[in-house]
Structure 1
Amino acid sequence: MIEVVYVVRHGYRANWTVNPSTGEYNSTILSETQIPTDPPLAAYGVQQSKELAEHLCNLDPPIDVIYSSPFYRCLQTLKPTTERLFKEGKAGGKIRIERGLGEFYGRANFAHPSPADTSLLSKFFTDLHPEYESLLTPHPNGEMIRDLHGRVANALELVIGSLDKDPAGPKTVLICTHAATMIAIGRALTGQVPEDFNTDDFQCYTASLSTFKRKNEGESIMGAWDCLVNSETGYLSGGAERGWKFNGEENFTTDVVPERESSPKL
């Protein structure tokens, strides 16, 4: 069963803008997917990804399985790490794309742009698992912060639960994700969900690493982990940068969007 969960945030990325009235997104630098909300890493982020790789490739215990958000910047952040590990026959040889661990968008009356699917991403990243299908899909109209926490907890239950039953017996998993999702992951795994979601607890610096260790075999998945490392950045030449925290609901509307439970594929 999984004993250690490693979580990294993508490196420093290019920016985008959005018209909150129309939902029109724009980015001055587009990635190969051509999706405005899917920009690539900035040159500085590419350097961070290389420094991150030096650290990830020497973790103890080593990485057995890798999951990633479907966004280009996350896969680009992982690339120096996976190229090295997969060449050495380590870390499972393929990245599993999981939308349930993807980006957070505030609730809106319009649909946010969807990330590229695995078939398109495979044109740019050759080491994606072709048969893996995401276990959860975020609501296209975005989420309240509470909904994000629920979605992330559900995704982790499904992902870790499936790995616990994997005949290959992986002990560790690496997840590459985004700032808000990284915070929600820390809260779900430890069970330390504050009443005020704006609480500054779990950190999420660019290209940082958080480490969680299972307390006891056989315990339920959520709340069964200790945080050993909270957003480590000592291996980065620039140290801790671009920290982020929740600061009130980041919604585009005050209207209620119909609730839709992300659809699990059991």
Structure 2
Amino acid sequence: MIPRLLTYLRHTAEARPAPPTATIKVTRDDNSTSNTTMVVKTIYICRHGFRLNWTLDPHTITYSANFPTPTGIPADPPLASHGEAQSLELATAVAALDPPVDAIYGSPYYRCLQTIAPAARIIGGRLPPARRGIRVETGFGEWYGQTDGVPQPRPAPVSSLAPLFPGLLDTSYTSTAEAHPHGESIKQLHDRIAAALHAVISAADAEPDGPSAILICTHAASMIAMGRALTGVMPADPCDDDFKCFTASLSRYVRRTVDDGPPSEWRGVGVKGGWDCEANADCSHLVGGEERGWHFSGDESFLRDPDAFNDADNERRETRETKL
């Protein structure tokens, strides 16, 4: 399996040096985590692996799939073969994490669940029954930008996803938030992510013998927003390239203290007491290294996502811009 995987990756991705681990910290004078009774102390966040594309008509905001999708939703494609390989590499890294993962949360989009499924299979056996299933959280779902009230794609319900991932999903879990059906501004995305994180962490803290370390699998824009919401560090320009989000990369956040302030007041403080970023989209576990990085470029920057629809058009445009 390993020789075949390495051979495949050498032919599908240019090997790149592993990125340095970034540390983003905010000094606090209040109580540290060692003086509190909260449960969740570490949050790991990963982005889904390299996926298949869809196409978008930017005039009508109509999505079309280039290949049949497992859920039948055009904007819900599965991983490409390279992404499947990345998911296996990610699973190996997740299994070796310290502290170990005690619970897994995932966006309801197929590519995220497919990315984290190998890790769930590996670590599920050591988790208590109540925490073995992936908790599908719509609040951690995709961002489609702001589109003047045009309806945006909606993910499949858990009842439809469960047969696609037999025995891997926690069908009793209830999501805490969801994206606006008619699109979101960058600010609305960050507030949605902060609200979902606040609710998820609060619920996990309240669980008897609850998780100490959780893993979240999400999307590019959501992964950036999570870094900002957890640390409380929101740049003046949301298009700043601060928190990274390479495909199948892995970030780590460590809790500073406990604070149950409202989720709307995360800026400058951080959700639920704030968190320090100790690993910023690390890719050292991936043979291909850093791939498909992304950052905001406006409320409709989803049109320029290099890992999304209209790849050929984006690449042709970038080639022209490089020549100018």
The aligned residue for residue 107 of structure 1 is 146
Distance of 1:87 and 1:35 partners within structure 2: 32
Q: Give a deviation string over 1:182-233, Cα, whole Å, max 9, x none.
A: 0000000000001100001000000000000001345756161000000000
Q: Distance in 2 between matches of 1:139 and 1:34?
A: 21
Q: Which runs of 5+ in 1 are unaligned?
A: 253-266
Identify the residue that residue 45 of structure 2 maps to in structure 1: 7
Counterpart residue number, 2:250: 209
Relative distance call for 1:157 and 1:65 in structure 2 (3 A) is same
**TM-score computed with the length of structure 2 as normaliser:** 0.75
**Partners of 2:221 and 2:259 in 1: CA distance:** 29
Structure 2: 5+ residue stretches without partners: 1-38, 262-269, 303-324
Residues 102 and 127 in structure 2, CA contact (< 8 A), matched pair in contact too: no
Letter in 2 for 1:231: A
Larger helix proportion of the pair = 2
Q: Would you say 1:225 and 2:275 are equivalent positions?
A: yes
- Return the match for 1:60 from 86, 98, 106: 98
Q: Percent identity?
A: 47
Whether the aligned pair in 1 keeps the contact of 2:105 and 2:137 (CA below 8 Å) is yes
- The aligned runs of 1:65-214 (5 Å cut-off) are 65-89=103-127, 92-108=131-147, 109-126=149-166, 127-214=168-255
Letter in 1 for 2:138: R
Q: Match of 1:23?
A: 61
Q: Note closer, same or farther for the CA distance 1:165–1:199 as it changes in structure 2 (3 Å cut).
A: same
Aligned residue pair count: 252
- SS of 1:135's partner is coil
CA distance in 1, matches of 2:260, 2:182: 34
Give the conservation status (yes or no) of the 8 Å contact 1:152–1:185: yes
Structure 1 position 90, deviation (Å): 6.1
Q: Secondary structure at the match of 2:211?
A: coil
Q: CA RMSD in A?
A: 1.6
CA positional deviation for 1:89: 3.9
Is 1:235 paired with 2:280?
no
Letter in structure 1 aligned against 2:79: L
The equivalent of 1:261 in structure 2 is none
* TM-score, structure 1 normalization: 0.91
Q: Considering only CA atoms, is the larger Rg found in Structure 1 or Structure 2? A: 2
Report the Cα distance in structure 2 between the residues aligned to 1:111 and 1:217, rounded to whole angstroms: 38
